[in-house]
């Protein structure tokens, strides 16, 4: 046995590439908007998580450039030592106030935020309870934690209660995605909070996909349900609606203070670049001052949900701008990707192990800045390909 044997054995991706059906790592050579350039071709972007279309907003760009001019391009150190700038503190105050918590802490990615909070807050002899469809960063965070991981069936409250009953006297944290990243459904937060109260559990919500989409001024799932005080930990990312990169954890001051001193991905990794901090501050400002962007996002979402359903597509449990089409096996998903790519549409196929073998998805996601005309064109093309591949 040799270390690289597994690499040599992994040939599936190369085979799919040779067939011209490999849909990953596509190269974009333009600004990121509702239209992008892929292989020198104008392509309608239906696969971005920039739900409010802020990545090229002039104010966000200008804030980012001004921060580079003032602070430079990077911090060359962690927050703990030389990497704390006044703009980090300002951003954390804005975030805490926006999501309705005492304090907030920024990490360099959302992935690190989940690793950082879960590995630190859930210790030996304690329990982490996750939804089976929670994001990979939550799974990996729970692997790093010394606590024990228990998983319940997706959005299944009976299953969650059975698990909670078994560990009712233990210290525990329930962790859910606010909006599930592939299915596009919303966590049943009111029921989760009820169970958490009954069985004395803390609750954390990952708002990666809910920021900019749910709640007042896009402040997330907890606000959407009026449950901000009941949710203990709110996690968010800057890499989607907030048009940059980075992540944050918000909650009680004592919990944040503990993270500051024990969270290894926070202490041993360089801090958020100033340009990112500045662009997030600008993006939050725009969300507060232009609430019609969120209204427009929901108009587009409702139009596409209705359009896909009327054509006969199975969109599963989606109720947000993330609209997956259940298309069947992997080859059907790849063929659909190829036909749509040739026809100037960018979508993301989701295949095993992310989904069961015969339930592959074509994940579409919509933005506030898509025009009616763009969406109508997309619907026409989806109808054509759906009929051709006998999906609808």
Q: Is there a contact between 351 and 16 (Cβ–Cβ < 8 Å)? A: no
Catalytic annotation present for 240: yes
The answer to the question of residue 206 lying near ligand PMP (CB under 6 A) is yes
Nearest-CA neighbor of 92 among 239, 286, 284, 303?
284
Residue of 57, 101, 209, 326 marked active site: 209
With CB under 6 A as the rule, give the number of residues binding ligand PMP. 14
Helix 292-311 and helix 372-388, axial crossing angle in degrees, nearest 10 = 20
The answer to the question of residue 183 lying near ligand PMP (CB under 6 A) is no
Residues within window 285-324 making contact with ligand PMP, judged by CB under 6 A: none
Give the chain's count of helices (H) and strands (E).
Answer: 15, 13
Catalytic annotation present for 181: yes
For strands 127-131 and 148-152, give the pairing.
parallel
3: which 2 tokens? 């270390």
Helix 372-388 and helix 330-342, axial crossing angle in degrees, nearest 10 = 130
The answer to the question of residue 265 lying near ligand PMP (CB under 6 A) is no
The answer to the question of residue 135 lying near ligand PMP (CB under 6 A) is yes
Cβ partners under 8 Å of residue 365, min gap 6: 46, 47, 48, 49, 51, 321, 322, 323
| Residue from 83, 218, 220, 247 binding ligand PMP (CB under 6 A) | 247
Angstrom distance (rounded) from CA 96 to CA 15: 48
Q: Dmax over Cα atoms in the chain, in whole Å?
A: 61
Contact window for ligand PMP (CB under 6 A) among 103-111, 164-172, 335-343, 361-369:
103-111
The Cα angle at residue 8 between residues 5 and 12, in degrees rounded to 5: 130
Based on CB atoms, which residue is closest to ligand PMP, 78 or 299? 78
Q: How far is the CB of 209 from ligand PMP (least distance, A)?
A: 6
Residues within window 36-55 making contact with ligand PMP, judged by CB under 6 A: none
Q: How far is the CB of 221 from ligand PMP (least distance, A)?
A: 11
Helix 86-99 and helix 274-289, axial crossing angle in degrees, nearest 10 = 30
Based on CB atoms, which residue is closest to ligand PMP, 196 or 243? 243
Angstrom distance (rounded) from CA 332 to CA 311: 18
Based on CB atoms, which residue is closest to ligand PMP, 34 or 114? 114
Q: How far is the CB of 204 from ligand PMP (least distance, A)?
A: 11
Sign of CA dihedral 134, 138, 139, 145: negative
Q: How far is the CB of 314 from ligand PMP (least distance, A)?
A: 22
Closest-CB residue for ligand PMP?
A: 110
Based on CB atoms, which residue is closest to ligand PMP, 244 or 374? 244
Q: How far is the CB of 245 from ligand PMP (least distance, A)?
A: 6
Q: What DSSP assignment string belongs to 104-132?
A: EEEESSHHHHHHHHHHHHS-TT-EEEEET
State whether residue 200 is helix, strand or coil: coil
Cβ partners under 8 Å of residue 265, min gap 6: 107, 112, 113, 115, 116, 119
The answer to the question of residue 131 lying near ligand PMP (CB under 6 A) is no
Q: How far is the CB of 192 from ligand PMP (least distance, A)?
A: 16
Contact window for ligand PMP (CB under 6 A) among 203-211, 249-257, 340-348, 372-380:
203-211
Residue 342, burial from CB neighbour count under 10 angstroms (0-12, 13-18, 19+): exposed
Contact window for ligand PMP (CB under 6 A) among 105-113, 270-278, 294-302, 323-331:
105-113
Residues within window 106-125 making contact with ligand PMP, judged by CB under 6 A: 109-111, 114
Q: How far is the CB of 210 from ligand PMP (least distance, A)?
A: 9
The answer to the question of residue 228 lying near ligand PMP (CB under 6 A) is no
Residue 3, burial from CB neighbour count under 10 angstroms (0-12, 13-18, 19+): exposed
Residue of 57, 172, 240, 335 marked active site: 240
Residue of 50, 181, 201, 222 marked active site: 181
Catalytic annotation present for 209: yes
| Residue from 121, 193, 208, 213 binding ligand PMP (CB under 6 A) | 208
Based on CB atoms, which residue is closest to ligand PMP, 131 or 232? 131
Phi, psi values for residue 96, rounded to 5°: -60, -45
Give catalytic residue positions.
181, 209, 240
Residues near ligand PMP (CB under 6 A): 109-111, 114, 135, 137, 177, 181, 206, 208-209, 237, 239, 247
């Amino acid at each position: 046995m040799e270390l690289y044997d597994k690499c040599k054995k992994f040939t599936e991706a190369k085979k799919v590439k040779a067939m011209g059906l490999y849909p990953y790592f596509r190269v974009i050579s333009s600004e990121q908007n509702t239209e992008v350039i892929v292989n020198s071709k104008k392509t309608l972007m239906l696969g971005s998580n920039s739900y409010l279309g802020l990545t090229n907003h002039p104010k966000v760009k200008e804030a980012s450039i001004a921060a580079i001019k003032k602070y430079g391009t990077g911090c060359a150190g962690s927050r703990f030592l030389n990497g704390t700038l006044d703009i980090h503190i300002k951003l954390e105050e804005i975030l805490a106030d926006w999501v309705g918590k005492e304090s907030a802490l920024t990490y360099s990615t959302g992935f690190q935020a989940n690793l950082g909070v879960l590995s630190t807050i859930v210790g030996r002899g304690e329990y982490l309870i996750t939804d089976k469809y929670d994001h990979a960063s939550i799974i990996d965070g729970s692997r790093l934690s010394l606590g024990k991981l228990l998983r319940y069936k997706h959005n299944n409250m009976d299953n969650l209660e059975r698990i909670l009953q078994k560990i009712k006297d233990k210290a525990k944290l329930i962790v859910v995605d606010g909006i599930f990243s592939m299915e596009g459904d919303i966590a049943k937060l009111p029921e989760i909070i009820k169970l958490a109260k009954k069985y004395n559990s803390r609750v954390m919500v990952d708002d990666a996909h809910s920021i900019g989409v749910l709640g007042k001024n896009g402040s997330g799932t907890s606000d959407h349900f009026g449950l901000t005080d009941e949710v203990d930990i709110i996690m968010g990312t800057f890499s989607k609606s907030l048009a940059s990169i980075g992540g944050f954890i918000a909650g009680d001051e004592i919990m944040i203070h503990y993270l500051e001193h024990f969270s290894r991905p926070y202490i041993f990794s360089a801090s958020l670049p100033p340009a990112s901090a500045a662009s997030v501050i600008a993006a939050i400002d725009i969300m507060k001052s232009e609430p019609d962007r969120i209204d427009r996002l929901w108009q587009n979402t409702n139009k596409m949900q209705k359009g896909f359903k009327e054509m006969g597509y199975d969109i599963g449990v989606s109720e947000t701008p993330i609209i997956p089409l259940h298309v069947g096996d992997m080859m059907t998903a790849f063929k659909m990707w190829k036909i749509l790519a040739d026809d100037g549409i960018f979508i993301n196929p989701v295949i095993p192990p992310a989904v069961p073998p015969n339930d592959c998805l074509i994940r579409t996601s919509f933005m506030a800045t898509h025009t009616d005309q763009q969406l109508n064109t997309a619907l026409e093309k989806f109808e054509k390909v759906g009929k051709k591949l006998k999906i609808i």
